[in-house]
Chains A and B, each alone.
Chain A
Amino acid sequence: MTGADGTASWAEALVREHESHAVRPGREEQVLERIDRARRRRATVREEYVTMAHGAGGKATQSLIEAIFLESFRNPLLEPLEDGAVFGAGTERLALTTDSYVVSPLFFPGGNIGDLAVNGTVNDLAVCGARPLYLSAGFILEEGFPVGDLRRVVASMAVAAEVAGVQIVTGDTKVVQRGKADGCYVNTAGVGLIERPGALGVAGARPGDAVIVSGPIGEHGVTIMLARGELDIEADLISDTAPLNGLVAALLDACPEAVRCMRDATRGGVATILNEIARASGVAVVVEEDAVPVRQAVRGACELLGIDPLYVACEGRLVAVVDGAVVDTALAALRAHPLGEGAALVGRIGEDPPGLVLLKTGFGGTRIVDLLVGDPLPRIC
C-alpha cells in the first residue's frame, strides 16, 4: 500500500500530530472564538472576476455588496441594507426600492418575468411597511426578441400593477445586439408611502418574539428549476409570485406596534432572511423544521436534488417577526387573507448564541442553518 511518496510516513506523522492535538478542555471554545473573530472581519472580495456565486444571494453576494457597493455609497439610509430605503420628504415618509429581473425561462408556470418584476418591487415596498404607489419599468431587450413575447410580458405587468394597486409611471428601453443579453431583462423601481408610525427593520427582533412564514416555501425556485427542463422531473407546481401588500396591510392592521420586521423570502430563501435577522438583531433564531410549511412536490424535488427548501426562493411569501404575545392574532390575520392561508408559526427568537439560526430537525436533532456561499449546488450522490 505504500505509494510513490511513501504513504506509511504520512500516517506516522499524522499520529504524532493527532497526539499533539489531543482534546484539551476549553479548546473547542477557543476555536469557536477564533471563528467568531474571523466572521466579524470586514467583508472583502478576493476574486478577480465576478462569478455566478456573487449573484446568488448568499455570503458571496453579501461580501460584494458590503465590500464594493456599501464601501463607496455608504450613507445612513443605505447602511441597514433593507429591501428598500425609508426617508422623510416634507411631512411624509417614503420608501424607495429597485430590483432587476433576469429570470430564465422568461415564461414559467404561474407567471413570467413581467408580473415577477412588478410583484417583486411591490413586495419590497410592502415589507418596509409602505403602501406601494408608483413603479418605473426599464427594459433591456436583445435584438431578435419576439415582439409577441414582449407584448405578453408587458400585458402581465399591467395586470399585476392593477392587482397590486400601483401605477407604472415612467420607464426606459434599451436594445442590445444579439447575444449580449438573454431575450429580455426588466428593472423595476418603486416608491411607497409609509402611513403608520413605528419602524420595521431586521435589527428589531427581540428574545421572546415569534417567527412566522406566510405560506408554503420554495415554490417559485423549484418551479423555475423544473421549467428549465434540465432535470426531467415533472411536478404539479406553479410559482408563488404574488403581490404581498394586501397581506402586509392585514397583518399591520391586526397587530400594529407588534410587528418587528418583515421580509419577502426571495433569493436565498427563508434561511437567508433568518440569518440576516439573527445577525442584525444579535439574537438566535430557533426554527422547528416540522413547522415550516413545504408542499410535497417541493420537498420531493429538493430531496432528489439534495438541496434544502429553506434556501429555495419564494416570490410571494413573507417572513415576519412579531411580538410573541400577539402570535395568535397575527396568524389569524394572515390566514384570513387568501395569500396567507398557509401561514405558520415556525420558530422563535432566543438570546444565545447571538447571530445564529438553529434548526430543530424533524428527526429530533439540532443543527445550524448558515448562509450559503452561492446557489445551493446539487450533490452528486
Chain B
Amino acid sequence: MRFVDEYRDAEKARALSAKIASLCEPGRQYKFMEVCGGHTHTIYKHGLEDYLPENITLVHGPGCPVCVIPMGRVDDAIHIAERPDVIMTSFGDMMRVPGGRGSFFDSMAQGAEIRMVYSPLDALKIARQNPDRRVVFMAIGFETTAPSTAMTVLRAEAEKITNFSVFCNHVTIIPAIKAILDSPDLRLDGFIGPGHVSTVIGCGPYAFIARDYRKPLVVAGFEPLDILQSIYMLLRQLAEGRSEVENQYARVVPWEGNPRALTAVNQVMKLRPYFEWRGLGFISHSALGMRERYAVHDAERIFDIPGVRVADPKACQCGEVLKGVLKPWECKVFGTACTPETPIGTCMVSSEGACAAYYNFGRFSRERVREATR
C-alpha cells in the first residue's frame, strides 16, 4: 500500500537500527519519552523495540487523549447522556473509559442513547436529523482534534442548529510536557514530539524545552520508520552536544503549524484557568473551554452538571505511568486487578494507553519472545 509500506520497510529499519547502535555511547543509559499515545501504539504494534539496543528505554508520555480524562468528567458526561432528551455522541475509544460509576457502554446498557461517531460532523448530522432531541458531542483530545470540534461549532452556528452542543474536554499538550519536565530528578534525555498535535500548533511552542531545559525534541511521524529515525535524530543531537527542536515529520508538519485551525479554535474556545488531568491532578491553563459567545452550543452551560470530583482509585498508578515515572508493569495492579477487561485506570482502556499497549502487545520479555519466534 502506497504511503504506508515505504515507512514499514524492514531493511531500512535494520539500517537505521545499526546507525542508532553506533551512536549510543557504551555504558550510557538513554531515556526518551514518546509524548503521544499514537507513538506508543505504533511502537508496540510493530514490535519496534526489537530494533533498539538495550540501553535505550522508551518512556510513554501523557499524550493519550482518553487516558487523561478524569473520572469525574466521564460521570458528568454520563449524567448528561442519561437525560431522555439527549443523544450523546463520542469517539469509539471513549466508550469503555470507566468513570466513578461505569462507562458509556454501561450507561447504554441502562438505557442512555450514546452513539459512536467518527467525527464531530457526524454528531452535527445526527442533530440535524433529530431536531426534537439535544445532541451532545463528547469532545476529547489535544490540539489535534480541537480544530474539528471548533469548525463543527462554527458550522452549527452558521446553520442555526441549536440542538447541537459540545461537552468540551480538549486539553493542550505543552503544560503537560512542562509538568513532566518540572518533576525533580525525572531524568529524560529527549522527547519524541507529538506529530499530529504539531500539524496544528507547529514546532515553535517546543522551543522552551530545548532552550530552557536543554532537552532535544524531534517531532515524529507515526509509522515505525518515522519513530526509528526520530530516535536516531535525538541521539545525533546528544552526540553533537545539541538540544534543538527538529522536525522529522516535515512531510505533514509545517514548522509554523496550521494558523487557520488555530484561529478557529481560538474563535470558539479559550483556555480554562485549570483543569484536572487523570493521574496528574490539576494543571493550570492546560485545557480549553467554550467561549461565552457560543454558550448555546456549550453543554456545560446548557445542562446542570454535577461537576463532582472523583478521586482516582487508590491502587491506580496511572499518573506515574503517564509521567513515565513507572513502567506499566511496575504498577501495583497491572495485569491483576487492572486488565483490559476490567480497567481501573484509563491507561488500560485505550489501545494507545501505555498499559493496554504493554499488556496486549509486549507483556513478555523481549528475549523470551525473540526466542519463541526465531
The reply to whether B283 and A51 form a contact with Cβ atoms under 8 Å apart is no
Cβ contact within 8 Å between B178 and A1:
yes
Asked if residues A352 and B359 are in contact (CB atoms below 8 Å), the reply is no
Contact of B323 with A14 in the complex, beta carbons under 8 Å: yes
Q: Is A300 an interface residue (CB 8 A)?
A: yes
In whole angstroms, how far apart are the Cα atoms of A49 and B362 in the complex?
32
Q: With the chains together, A230 CA to B89 CA distance in Å?
A: 13
Q: For the complex, is A169 an interface residue (Cβ under 8 Å from B)?
A: no
Given A5-B281, A14-B325, A296-B1, check contact A284 B335 (CB 8 Å): no
* Chain-B contact segment, one of A141-149, A314-322, A360-368: A360-368
Does A89 count as interface, using CB distance less than 8 angstroms? no
B93 part of interface (Cβ distance < 8 Å): yes
Chain A proximity mask over B350-374: 1 for CB below 8 Å, otherwise 0: 1110000001111111101111110
Mark out the residues of chain B between 9 and 54 whose CB falls within 8 Å of any chain A CB in the assembled complex. Answer: 10, 13-14, 38, 41, 44-51
The answer for the CA separation of A371 and B363 in the assembled complex, in Å, is: 13
Residues of B contacting A2 in the complex (Cβ-Cβ under 8 angstroms): 284
Would B105 and A52 count as touching, CB distance under 8 A? yes
> Which stretch of A32-40, A103-111, A121-129 is in the interface?
A32-40
* Stretch of A160-168, A186-194, A253-261, A373-381 on the interface side: A373-381
Contact between chains at A31 and B118 (CB < 8 Å): no
Instruction: From A3, A47, A300, A308, name the one whose CB has the most chain B CB atoms within 10 angstroms.
Output: A3
Q: Are B179 and A1 in contact (CB under 8 A)?
A: yes
Q: Smallest CB–CB gap between A220 and chain B, Å?
A: 20
- Is B65's beta carbon under 8 Å from chain A? yes
Q: In whole Å, how far is A121's beta carbon from the nearest beta carbon of chain B?
A: 29
Chain B: which residue is nearest A368 at the CB level?
A: B361
Task: Choose among B108, B334, B341, B373 the residue that contacts A286 (Cβ–Cβ < 8 A).
Answer: B373
Is B270 an interface position by the 8 A CB rule?
A: no
Contact A52-B283, Cβ < 8 Å, known A15-B184, A38-B336: no
Contact of B175 with A1 in the complex, beta carbons under 8 Å: yes
Please indicate the chain A residues that have their CB under 8 angstroms from the CB of B371 in the complex.
Answer: 352
Instruction: Report Cα–Cα, A308/B361, bound state, in Å.
Output: 13
Cα distance, A310 to B323, chains bound together (Å):
32
B335 touches A378 (CB 8 A): no
Residue of A nearest to B105 (CB): A51
Q: At the interface, yes or no: B96 with Cβ under 8 Å from chain A? A: yes
The answer to whether B334 and A31 touch across the interface, beta carbons within 8 angstroms, is yes
On chain A, the number of residues with a Cβ less than 8 Å from chain B's Cβ atoms is: 71
Q: In the complex, A15→B366 CA distance in Å?
A: 26
Contact A18–B50 (Cβ < 8 Å): no
Provide the residues of chain B in CB contact with A350, threshold 8 Å: 372
- The one of B45, B93, B341 in contact with A59, judged by C-beta atoms closer than 8 angstroms, is B341
User: How many A-B residue contacts, CB cutoff 8 Å?
Assistant: 218
Establish whether residues A49 and B274, one from each chain, have CB atoms under 8 Å apart when the complex forms: no
Contact of B8 among A18, A353, A360, A363 (CB under 8 A): A363
A35 touches B284 (CB 8 A): no
Bound: A52/B96 CA distance, A: 11
Q: Is the CB of A378 within 8 A of B91?
A: yes
Quick one: closest A residue to B121, CB to CB? A232
Residues 47 to 67 of chain A near chain B (Cβ within 8 Å): 47-53, 59-60, 63
Are A60 and B1 in contact, CB atoms less than 8 angstroms apart? no
CB distance from B338 to the nearest CB of A (A): 10
Chain A CB within 8 A of B280 CB: yes
Docked-complex contact A3 and B281, CB < 8 angstroms = yes
Q: CA of A370 to CA of B339 in the docked complex: distance in angstroms?
A: 12
Does B159 belong to the interface (CB within 8 Å)?
A: no
Interface membership of B144, Cβ < 8 A: yes
In the complex, chain A residues whose CB is within 8 Å of the CB of B1: 296, 299-300, 303
Contacts of B352 in A (CB 8 A): 379
Do A11 and B93 touch across chains, with their CB atoms under 8 A apart? no
Those of A277-322 within 8 Å (CB) of chain B:
284, 286, 296, 299-300, 303, 306, 308
The reply to whether B319 and A10 contact each other, CB–CB distance below 8 Å, is yes
* A-chain residues with CB within 8 Å of residue B281 when the two chains form the complex: 3-7, 10
Taking the complex as formed, is B193 at the interface, i.e. its CB lies under 8 A from any CB of chain A? no
The answer to the question of A17 belonging to the interface, with a C-beta cut-off of 8 Å to chain B, is: yes
Q: Write the chain A residue with the least CB distance to B284.
A: A3
| Minimum Cβ distance to chain A for residue B106 (Å) | 6
A contact residues around B96 at 8 Å (CB): 53, 373-374, 377
Write out the residue numbers on chain A whose beta carbons fall within 8 Å of the beta carbon of B362: 367-368
Q: Is A46 an interface residue (CB 8 A)?
A: yes
A76 to chain B, nearest CB (A): 27
Contact B360 A365 (CB under 8 A): no
Bound Cα distance from A31 to B328, whole angstroms: 11
Asked if B330 is at the interface of the complex by the 8 Å CB criterion, the answer is: yes
Query: With a CB–CB cut-off of 8 A, which chain B residues contact A17?
Result: 317, 320, 325-326
B92 at the interface (CB under 8 A from A): yes
List the 5 shortest-distance A-B pairs measured between CB atoms, nearest first.
Answer: A365-B47, A35-B335, A3-B282, A377-B92, A49-B109
Q: List 9 A-B contacts (CB under 8 A).
A: A5-B281, A7-B182, A11-B179, A15-B183, A27-B330, A34-B336, A308-B45, A356-B364, A365-B46
B residues with CB within 8 A of A: 1, 4, 8, 10, 13-14, 38, 41, 44-51, 65-66, 91-96, 105-106, 108-110, 116-118, 122, 140-141, 144-145, 175, 178-179, 182-186, 196, 224, 274, 280-284, 317, 319-320, 323, 325-326, 329-330, 334-337, 339-342, 350-352, 359-366, 368-373
